[in-house]
Structure 1
Amino acid sequence: MTQALPSRVRWSRRVRGGPTGAVVAELPRSRRAVALLVFVLGALSAVGPLATDLYLPAFPQIAADLGASESGIQLTLTSVMVGMALGQLVVGPLSDVWGRRPPLLVGIGVFTVASVLCAVAPSAGALVVLRFVQGVAGAAGAVVSRAVVRDLFEGDAAARFFSRLMLVVGLAPMLGPVLGGQLLLLGPWQLLFGVLAAAGALGFVLVLVALPETLPVGRRRGLDVVALGRSFGGLVRDGRFLGPAVTLGLNFAMTFTYVSAFSFVSQEELGASAQEFALVFGVNTVGMVLGTQANAWLIGRMELSRRLLAGLLGSVVSVGALLVLGLSGHASLVPVMGALFVMMVCTGFVSPNATTLAVSSQPVSLAGTGSALLGTLQFAVGGGLAVLAGLTGSGSASLVSMAVVMLGASVAAAVVFVVVMARGHARSVA
């Protein structure tokens, strides 16, 4: 039996056979129920992006306050990404064993406590450690949300829902730096982590009152480490999963390089203030939201793989233009923002479609495990490649170094997906 949602909105289940033979539960066509689910899962998925983006305008202030270098403060961003990657490997499989709600509640609770401790961190080293814990715990929101969607939807229905979800999730990176920049006018950088703690507490309440269990006991897996290892091994060997997962990871590396480096590039190379950086970052994120909604509109009008390929190729072109601007030696904030805006629109096409291809290739019983590996690849590749932008003679990222890493990641993502498409076509012909 499913639990009641607030305001007398209830879920109903219709059982059918999916392409893998799994039993799939669907939501009814109630806009109210779907909208509530989008809001709840969107809020939970936004916890991670908010944790990475809210404090970006404060990087110079944190470095000065804690007596740390720029690279040392950037390490706090890398550590939270590594934590999210490893956390998903733990939380995802546990959600297949114990259901979706218990690991989610524990994760959000720990995230809230870690956020409070970050606010009182005495040094950059302590902040790096606490951000890692924050990332491990915050991974629960993203990995379980994707698993819930796989429990309920598949195919174009999943792509449509992920596009709607990205509309809500996209508000976090859009509003995060803007909110962070304004909060810095009211108080020190510690205030930002207090806001993250409040966001975690809100997420905990939402799970308690508005998210029923979507994985019945009969569809849960046993806690078997050997079987879990086989499951991960099977996913890694399955090109239907690994291809779009690697594509998504490389595309995320492109966007995360921008996220991690642009605060310093815009303020120290392009002469922007913390508030101007936050505004530019927010405007660019509007591009991603527009891209996800354009992708949703094209469902039924354009094949999923073509939508994904269009997003990948558009990313290559826009980031190539960004590199040209950097090499010209005359880059300014407005044209740089234009190139990044187009890149973010294209990202709005890549993320929901690559995610749909990966998670829909697996049965519901592996939704949590598949979601965990997908998220781990995303954060591990993204966090690992983004560090390369700071490997310059000065030790700080520049517009050129940022663009070079972003272009390499975007080209690699397009190549991987084209190879996957070619192999899939060859198999279908055979």
Structure 2
Amino acid sequence: MTEQLISTATPHQGLGVLLILSTLMAFASISTDLYLPALPHMAAALAASPGSVELSISGYLVGFSLGQLLWGPIGDRHGRRLPIAIGLVLFILGSAGCALATSAPTLIGWRVLQAVGACASVVLARAMVRDLYSGPAAARMLSTLMTVMAVAPLVGPSLGGLILRLGSWQAIFWVLVGVGLATLGALALLPETLPAELRSREPLAGAVHRYGELLRQRRFLAYAGAGGFFYAGMFAYIAGSPFAYIDYHHLSPQLYGVLFAVGIVGIMLTNQVNARLVECYGSDRLLRLGCGMAAGAGLILAAVAATDMGGLPALALALFLFIAATGFVVANSIAGALAGSPQQAGAVSALIGSIHYGSGILGSALVGLCADGTPWPMGWVIALCGLGSLCCARMLVAAGEAPAR
């Protein structure tokens, strides 16, 4: 029944569902991308070091990765809409707390709460896709959703820079409060995709056992690892690029937002290419292509960051190539993991999301802890992450199993 929900809806209704799902999935990015241009200003206003303010990204990832482990099983047992609504309320409270923070540790604490709320939207939106689609269709739908939701990070840093120009860094978080309230209202238009008769009857404590079973599956680990290493590199970029561009290369926050937006355009393009090719070439093959692209771009970036060869243009080009690989890596790694356990979509989505964003903790934290005023820490972290992602993607072949489609 649910497989017909979007396909049989009117064009207007189908578009509405698509936009709401895209908005829910975009909470992972808008919660961070909007305030990236303000990081240097926040460090000065809170009398904190750049590294400690960068750790607000790591703190967000802690809440985001651990929170998913909770929301996934709850969504399998109680449906998708109610947990999303509760999560949005927590997101609103966390965003308001960030706006009122007077120190870096307080900011980090509120970011954790903000993340726990935001991740409910992301993990359960992915599960809703699996409720409605399977196989290549799921990978294609995820690519389409990621293309639509890329509007948020596309305009996020530029909008954040504009808000910063007109007001203060606190105003950015008040805008996020408004986004949370608007999404909570729009949730009333989103149909429930998990009927009561298909919901899990297993106690929530059983989720630990299910997670253990998944972690013993080599193919699941390959998909999760490929995406996890890539996310570590992406959050190394998110944590390090404001200081590499604004402090080291002396760009304005507004121009930084433009360069960030160019990378998002690359993601949108590769997502569309992936959506068109996945039926012909299979998600596993495209995943390996994306991981190879990320590894190559990471090595180039490390060389540029170490030598400053080519200056700002070379740095921006290498980062663009790495970021653009998102379109091949993320949707295919998630769809591959979900395909193995269709009856546990919430738990699988939660675990792979937790691994992805948990890896991002390491990437962003390494950049923050090793910050030396140059792009070098960001460069070597991204290079190692790209290589790790490629090694995990190759496990799909090394396991001796035929690639999934």
TM-score exceeds 0.5: yes
Deviation at 1:382, TM superposition (A): 1.2
d(CA) in 1 for partners of 2:271, 2:403: 30
d(CA) in 2 for partners of 1:97, 1:207: 19
1:242-279 Cα shifts (integer Å, max 9, x gaps):
22011111111111110111001111112211111111
Determine which of 72, 78, 81 is the counterpart of 1:101. 81
Q: 227-236 vs 328-337, which deviates more?
A: 328-337
Deviation at 1:300, TM superposition (A): 2.4
Contact 1:71 1:396 in 2 (8 A): no
1:413 corresponds to which residue? Answer: 389
Contact 1:25 1:151 in 2 (8 A): no
1:402 corresponds to which residue? Answer: 378
1:185 corresponds to which residue? Answer: 165
Q: Are 2:72 and 1:92 aligned?
A: yes
**Which SS does the other structure have where 2:192 is aligned?**
coil
Q: Are 2:333 and 1:354 aligned?
A: yes
Q: 164-173 vs 33-42, which deviates more?
A: 33-42
Instruction: Decide whether aligned partners of structure 1 residues 110 and 390 sit closer, same or farther in structure 2, where only a CA change above 3 A counts.
Output: closer
Summarize the alignment of residues 314-393 of structure 1 with structure 2, pairs less than 5 Å apart: 314-364=293-343, 366-392=344-370
Deviation at 1:330, TM superposition (A): 3.7
Kindly provide the amino acid, as one letter, of the partner of residue 403 in structure 1: G
d(CA) in 2 for partners of 1:156, 1:50: 27
d(CA) in 1 for partners of 2:372, 2:74: 39
Instruction: Decide whether aligned partners of structure 1 residues 426 and 196 sit closer, same or farther in structure 2, where only a CA change above 3 A counts.
Output: closer
Q: 325-334 vs 379-388, which deviates more?
A: 325-334
Deviation at 1:315, TM superposition (A): 1.0
2:16 corresponds to which residue? Answer: 36
1:304 corresponds to which residue? Answer: 283
Deviation at 1:378, TM superposition (A): 0.6
Determine which of 112, 115, 121 is the counterpart of 2:101. 121
Q: Structure 2: 5+ residue runs without aligned partners?
A: none
d(CA) in 1 for partners of 2:73, 2:402: 33
Contact 1:70 1:396 in 2 (8 A): no
Q: Are 2:229 and 1:222 aligned?
A: no
Deviation at 1:307, TM superposition (A): 1.0
d(CA) in 1 for partners of 2:378, 2:335: 29
d(CA) in 2 for partners of 1:396, 1:33: 51
Instruction: Decide whether aligned partners of structure 1 residues 181 and 35 sit closer, same or farther in structure 2, where only a CA change above 3 A counts.
Output: same
Summarize the alignment of residues 154-303 of structure 1 with structure 2, pairs less than 5 Å apart: 154-208=134-188, 210-303=189-282
d(CA) in 2 for partners of 1:190, 1:219: 43
d(CA) in 1 for partners of 2:85, 2:230: 30
Kindly provide the amino acid, as one letter, of the partner of residue 320 in structure 2: F
d(CA) in 1 for partners of 2:285, 2:207: 34
Instruction: Decide whether aligned partners of structure 1 residues 274 and 226 sit closer, same or farther in structure 2, where only a CA change above 3 A counts.
Output: closer
Contact 1:390 1:396 in 2 (8 A): no
1:49 corresponds to which residue? Answer: 29
d(CA) in 1 for partners of 2:261, 2:237: 13
Larger Cα-atom Rg: 1
d(CA) in 2 for partners of 1:297, 1:199: 32
d(CA) in 1 for partners of 2:141, 2:14: 9
Deviation at 1:397, TM superposition (A): 5.7
Contact 1:25 1:153 in 2 (8 A): no
Contact 1:291 1:344 in 2 (8 A): no
Kindly provide the amino acid, as one letter, of the partner of residue 314 in structure 1: M
Deviation at 1:226, TM superposition (A): 4.3
Deviation at 1:424, TM superposition (A): 3.9
d(CA) in 2 for partners of 1:421, 1:149: 27
Contact 1:390 1:397 in 2 (8 A): no
1:277-304 Cα shifts (integer Å, max 9, x gaps):
1111111111111110111121323222
What CA RMSD, in Å, does the superposition of the two structures yield over aligned residues?
A: 1.8
d(CA) in 1 for partners of 2:133, 2:222: 21
Kindly provide the amino acid, as one letter, of the partner of residue 367 in structure 1: A
1:191-242 Cα shifts (integer Å, max 9, x gaps):
100110111111101112x211111111111352442221111111122322
Kindly provide the amino acid, as one letter, of the partner of residue 187 in structure 1: G
Q: TM-score, normalised by structure 2?
A: 0.95
Q: Are 2:122 and 1:142 aligned?
A: yes
d(CA) in 1 for partners of 2:207, 2:325: 35
1:7-42 Cα shifts (integer Å, max 9, x gaps):
xxxxxx27xxxxxxxxx6663255444432221111
Instruction: Decide whether aligned partners of structure 1 residues 90 and 196 sit closer, same or farther in structure 2, where only a CA change above 3 A counts.
Output: same
Kindly provide the amino acid, as one letter, of the partner of residue 368 in structure 1: G
Q: Structure 1: 5+ residue runs without aligned partners?
A: 1-12, 15-23
Instruction: Decide whether aligned partners of structure 1 residues 96 and 325 sit closer, same or farther in structure 2, where only a CA change above 3 A counts.
Output: same
Contact 1:47 1:199 in 2 (8 A): no
Instruction: Decide whether aligned partners of structure 1 residues 26 and 360 sit closer, same or farther in structure 2, where only a CA change above 3 A counts.
Output: farther
Q: 395-404 vs 54-63, which deviates more?
A: 395-404
d(CA) in 2 for partners of 1:89, 1:303: 29
